[in-house]
Structure 1
Amino acid sequence: MTVEEPGIESGQALCCMYTKLGIGTTQCYSASQINASDDRGDLNIKTADDSGSIRSYLVTRPTYGNVVLMFVAYPVKVNSKTPIGGRMELRQDQRGLQCMGFSTVPVPWDRSWDTKDRYSLKIEWDLSGAPVGTRGVSSFGEGIVRRRCAATDLWRMIFAVGPLNSYPSADEDKSDSFGFYWFGTAPEQIASLPPLCEELFTKMSEFFQDKLSADNPYRIFVRRVTPARGFGGSGGLRSVVLEYDEAIGTIIKDEVFNLLAHEIVHNWPLLLPGPKDKDLDLVAWFNEGIADYYGTILPYRFGLRSESEFITRLNAKLTQYYTNPHIEATNREALEKGWTDTNLLTLPYTRGMLYLSKVDYQIRKATSDSKTVDTLILSILDRTKKQEPHSLVEWKAMIEELLGSEALKELEAMNDGETMRLPIDCFGTDWKLLPVDQRVLDFGFDMSSFQTRIISGLKSGSQAAKAGLRNGDEMVRNAYTWQCQEEYERSMEMTVKRGEELFDVKYWPRSEVMAESWQLRKVEKSPQ
């Protein structure tokens, strides 16, 4: 990596990178693993870790001219017990490699995510020693690409190299505005999606007033994580990672599409976190909730999903929220403990989605349908483009202006875990919300068991215990927890190992406790 004329003084940081990413790992190079030089020769590097998760690389003398950094990144070794993290690590997949810059690339030192400083970035691949058919692709395109961007954008970029397959294929003469990449043979429920995803992204780009083009592209990178586990997505800069494992056969095409629709929305409306002491860091409910909201509504609005598919998807999110055993947890608890419990992790997604649905209803009522929540979101995007502040401070100001001080109280109540109650006509007069009793989700043991792969904290009398599970059983494979969260009748199926014996277990992961849930139904209109 070459940094042109940084002009760094002795003791200053030349670049930095993350030392950890949630429960994921980074390359986190030591000083001896980075060779640095400038126009006057070798540069000695020292490291300094802050109290958070950033390692800075300091120079011991002033730099002169361009600085060249040389480092080697190795793919993370994984197995069936590897925790499911943020999908940013350097992983090997079917003779290829894929990662996000967060885990692998030190960038020029810049701690401010909303900085207005911009760098000229050039990415090129030396594939002279690689096998025939090797391709190198980043979020901004294949081969050599140039962009002017913030230094931290490099962290958010996705990189893939190897025998990549793609849509459009490498020999197709099409615009370089959209790409879908995978190694090996993609499962059918993924392989059939690229044209639909291209259409969805194009329409979303128009809706969010951010036209798709070769200079403003979007790319989807697929990776198989076997022998590790995982199905999910992580958004990068104008790109997303979609990962799958050997259980992909239990997932249908619509479920993959729902995930990608959510991740695609992440390209646009985002609130920046603020100081923790004022709870301005609690933005997950917005950033994930808005992705669930538009990821559900826009495909239907664009005609890419039928009315029945829209109702089914919305009802799945309603079930996921109202039967969540942690429905009363605060957003602070969800933020700090989410990676230990998937029910806490997904709570801000559904809570935020329903909160935004209610705000949309309230705005429409207050303005006689002249404004909607779309009005606020497009205002946030306009501020983002102008590099103006776009945090909870601005969100609060907007809702107070339209809805009064009561809106601030409702926001605070949502943060504190108060259960969301929606008007029965919240989603329009063609449908209405009806109350239904549904059993609370309960897998029957400590949720940390899904990460440790060892059953612990088994609840006596639970469906899991009745099915024959015991503390100490090793999980070999299991159904995805999110499927059980969203599909009320879904069973938890798993294969466990006890001693030398393997056996299958199947049970309904619901407790005896009933929750008041809500489901959307179409209004049957009387004939005239």
Structure 2
Amino acid sequence: MVPSYPIIRLRLTPQFEGESAIGLAVRLEIPYPNANVGQRLFRFLTRYNDVPGPLLRESDIEAVDDQGPLSVVFQAGDWGGPNTENWWHMDRATMGNLVLVYKVLAREVDIVLLQGTRLDLLREQRGLVGVGSGFLPDYLSNQVYRTVVEWSLPPNVPEMTKCVSSFGPGPGPASYVGYAKAIFDSVYMVGPIQSYPPTIPPAKQGGFGACHWLGEPPPNLRDKMARVNQALAPKMMQYFHARGETWNVFFRKGRGGHTGLGLLSSCIVEYNEDTVHMSDSLRTHLIAHEMVRTLSDMDREDNFYENRWFDEGLAEYYAAVLPYRFGVRDKDYLVCAINRSLQAYFTSPRLHMDIGTVYPAGWYANLVGCKRGCAYLMWVDGMLRRACGKLDLMQPGPLDEIVICMSHSRRRGFKFQIKNWIEQLGKHLPVGEMQKHLVGMLQGNIVDFGGLSGDDSPFRMFPCQKMILDFGFDIGRLYNGHLVGLVAKSPAYHAGLRNGDVLVNTTSLEACMNDHRAWLTVEYKRGDQKYTIKFCPRTAKTSAWEMREMALGAGLV
């Protein structure tokens, strides 16, 4: 018997001006929230990564339930700095279903992010694309629902208009069974959309990969990314036992370069003119990272600590290992991808930062968990494989068993937290030692690969020297005005930058973190003059580890 779930309904109606989409009319229906007066019902992002959310007032939202109209009341949230939020509650207790109706206008790409992908609803090449968290409220419920998304196309809709979301193609209803947060963590696109393949087939047993875009992304990106997606999606879905799902890649043009954001069964890939030079290896790693990130993650702790070190670290490590194991990429890809992450970890100026109690903010700090988690999980994988004698990375090992167990637990509604992680490790290695290593890693102790350099290790680790990453100025304010915090005699100083310069744009900061040979290009203004400089953002040497070989039988001698 198929289980029955309460239904959340979301209807989106595109608004057009001539041939271009300019906004959305939103109708969100919540089944029986049974909320008391003043009870927090929704969380709405008013600013994320210093990008303001839609200009939405309490009076802009029509609310009605079975008893009649209500008023939505905003309350300032707990976040501060570059991320702010509002809590939404009603002016009286709700009765029956609650319906919210409002309109949101899209905006042009006008702010370049220092890190990550924009969430807000953006206008692009006569269409719209955005993440639900950029224009929809997050319903605060831990219940499982069937969420139904449908599009209502107005009579004046331009020809060739299509619509698609992470839930599936529109305009007809597409549904998903899961937590209410699903609509908040999904992508929505409408306009003259092109897709590959042009028609998305019914759900396949092994999973399926599809790509969607507006306008004309660089063919080098579009065609090759589509092939990578189709090659990886069925194997990833099979690995994580998520058969029948479609993995959607949404391309979006932006000024920030090729970045990715993983969401519900999908990801956004931003591109610009420089993306044509993106290598096949980086394309594969980008898609694989976002797939792993959304298909398996660890629950936050009871004290609300987010285990992002695990989520991002596993995505980073498995984005190197799984494409190799699946036969999509060769051993050189694996070694290069691992060493990029290890280099970023060991040369980070925040190498010893404590992330054990509060997950830090800031550009450097946001990447600490990803790179440190990758190094730690690689070390754990090596220790587990050595303990059970499964040295061949082409074959699943104990870490894979733990990850699949975690994925299954979360799909069944059971939590998987740090205590469960240690419990699983304890089946193969001493619990006390594993607990000590985990706490030390979170507090900033360096991951030591010295014990994984012999013949009984799945990979051969070698000590080396690398240059520490140092941009030489306060990158936390890179796109927010004048340059501050310039370090005297730093590479940035010698290249010509000075405090007070207005920074306009840069090439990828993360590329510099992952590759000690990468140079940073900075566009800036001083007075009425515009300048472009290049420099290598590296200073003193530090000790590091790198991977050069794998065990016999694992592809390398």
TM-score surpassing 0.5?
yes
**3-state DSSP of counterpart to 1:131:** coil
RMSD: 2.8
Say whether the 8 Å CA contact 1:13–1:109 is kept in structure 2: no
Summarize the Cα distance change of 1:61–1:81 in structure 2 as closer, same or farther, 3 Å threshold.
Answer: closer
Q: Describe how 1:184-203 pairs up with structure 2 within 5 A.
A: 184-192=215-223, 193-203=225-235
Aligned: 1:238 with 2:259: no
Equivalent position amino acid for 1:268 in 2: L
Gaps of 5+ in 2: 1-26, 391-395
SS at match of 1:156: coil
| Aligned equivalent of 1:73, options 90, 104, 117 | 104
The aligned amino acid for 1:355 is Y
- Name the structure 1 match of 2:313: 289
Letter in 2 for 1:499: G
- What's the counterpart of residue 90 of structure 1? 121
Structure 1: distance between partners of 2:384 and 2:301: 26
- The whole-number CA distance in structure 2 between the counterparts of 1:8 and 1:384 is 26
- SS, match of residue 88 in structure 1: coil
Q: Give the whole-Å Cα distance in 2 for the aligned partners of 1:441 and 1:2.
A: 46
Give the distance between the partners of 1:465 and 1:291, measured in 2 at CA: 36
Matching residue of 2:489: 461
Q: Which residue of 2 aligns with 1:346?
A: 367
Q: What is the aligned partner in structure 2 of residue 162 from structure 1? A: 191
Equivalent residue, structure 1, for 2:12:
none
Instruction: Give the 3 Å change call, closer, same or farther, for CA 431–70 of structure 1 in structure 2.
Output: closer
Q: Which amino acid is 1:522 matched to?
A: E
Confirm whether residue 316 of structure 1 aligns to residue 345 of structure 2.
no
SS of 2:426's equivalent? Answer: helix
Label 1:496 to 1:50 Cα distance change in 2 as closer, same or farther (>3 A): closer
CA distance in 2, matches of 1:426, 1:126: 62
More displaced 10-residue stretch of structure 1: 131-140 or 326-335 = 326-335
1:251-290 deviations in whole A, cap 9, x for unaligned? 33432321111111112221111144xxx71511100000
1:206 alignment partner in structure 2:
238
Higher strand share: 2
- Residue 270 of structure 2 aligns to a residue whose secondary structure is strand
Moved more, 139-148 or 53-62: 53-62
Identity over aligned residues, as a percent?
Answer: 25
User: 2:389: which partner in 1?
Assistant: 368
Give the SS at the match of 2:311: helix
Structure 1 residue 491, shift from structure 2 partner: 1.4
Contact 1:467/1:506, CA 8 A, preserved across alignment: yes
Distance 1:106 1:414, change over 3 A: same
TM-score (norm 1): 0.88
Q: Note closer, same or farther for the CA distance 1:202–1:430 as it changes in structure 2 (3 Å cut).
A: same
Query: Per-residue deviation at 1:470?
Result: 1.6
TM-score by length of 2: 0.84
**Which residue does 1:391 correspond to in 2?**
417
Are the structure 2 counterparts of residues 390 and 491 from structure 1 closer, same or farther at C-alpha, using a change threshold of 3 Å?
same
Cα distance change on mapping 1:471 and 1:378 into 2, 3 Å: same
Cα distance, 1:249–1:426 mapped onto 2, change above 3 Å: farther
Contact 2:382–2:458 (CA under 8 A) maintained in structure 1 = no
Are the aligned partners of 1:235 and 1:264 in contact in 2 as well (CA < 8 Å)? yes
Q: 1:38 to 1:434 in 2, by over 3 A?
A: closer
* Residue 132 to residue 426, structure 1, CA distance change in 2 (3 Å): farther
- Cα displacement (A) at 1:49: 4.0
What's 1:137 paired with? 164
Query: Hey, what does 2:329 align to over in structure 1?
Result: 305
Query: What is the CA-CA distance between 1:295 and the residue it aligns to?
Result: 0.5
Change (3 A) 1:258 1:426: farther
Q: What residue number does 1:358 align with?
A: 379
Residue 452, structure 1, aligned to residue 480, structure 2: yes
Residues of 2 paired with 1:416 and 1:61: CA distance? 46
- Distance in 2 (CA, whole Å) between partners of 1:202 and 1:316 is 26
Task: Report the CA distance between 1:406 and its aligned residue.
Answer: 0.8
Residues 82-114 of structure 1: CA deviation (Å, up to 9, x unaligned)? 65555321111111111222221235442xxxx
Alignment check: 8 A CA contact 1:139 1:158 kept? yes
The 2-side partners of 1:156 and 1:32 are apart by: 26
TM-superposed deviation, 1:355: 0.7
AA matched with 1:387: G
From 446, 457, 467, the counterpart of 1:439: 467
**One-letter amino acid matched to 1:118:** V
Deviations 1:334-378 (A, max 9, x none): 8222xx33x222121111111111111222222333952112111
Partner AA of 2:370 in structure 1: Y
- 1:203: how far off? 0.6
Output the CA distance in 1 between the equivalents of 2:470 and 2:237: 39
How far did 1:478 drift? 1.8
Query: d(CA) in 2 for partners of 1:381 and 1:452?
Result: 39
Flag the 1:426–1:441 CA change in 2: closer, same or farther, 3 A.
farther
CA deviation after TM superposition for structure 1 residue 323, in Å: 1.2
Query: Residue type of the partner of 2:372?
Result: R
Q: Which 5+ residue runs of structure 1 have no aligned equivalent?
A: none
Give the Cα separation in 2 of the matches to 1:9 and 1:15.
7
Q: Contact 1:433/1:520 (CA < 8 Å) preserved in 2? A: yes
**Does the Cα contact within 8 Å between 2:468 and 2:542 map onto a contact in 1?**
yes
- Asked if structure 1 preserves the Cα contact closer than 8 Å seen for 2:320 and 2:333, the reply is no
CA distance in structure 2 between the aligned counterparts of 1:120 and 1:46, rounded to whole angstroms: 27
CA drift of 1:299 comes to 0.6
**SS of equivalent residue, structure 1 residue 358:** helix
SS in 1 for 2:105: coil
